[in-house]
Amino acid sequence: MPACANHREGHVSPMETRPLPVFDRKACMACKMCVDVCPVSCIGVEEAGGTGDPHGYPFLASPDACTRCGWCAEDCPVAAVSLAAA
């Protein structure tokens, strides 16, 4: 029986094929719940006012550290986080 394709040398692991979170600034209310729930602290917050907006919005600061657990999307109260295909 052939080995699973994901375990062949040179192929990415199943974890790496899972989607990364994407933040929808228009829907986001800058509550920072996603920042607090992230188990590896890879979500950063833009400096408030830095982009001409009074809110500090979250962004994926360390994609390499993200475990793609989806907790940020699950906890967002306004569905402003989605996990898009990488």
- Residues that bind ligand SF4 in the complex, under the rule CB under 6 A: 21, 23, 28-34, 37-40, 42-43, 58, 60, 66-72, 76, 78, 80-81
H or E segment and range at residue 34: helix 33-37
Residue 10 CB, shortest distance to ligand SF4, in Å, is 25
Nearer to ligand SF4, 1 or 84 (CB): 84
Nearer to ligand SF4, 2 or 77 (CB): 77
78 close to 65: Cβ distance less than 8 angstroms? no
Query: Smallest Cα–Cα separation from 29: which of 64, 53, 50, 3?
Result: 53
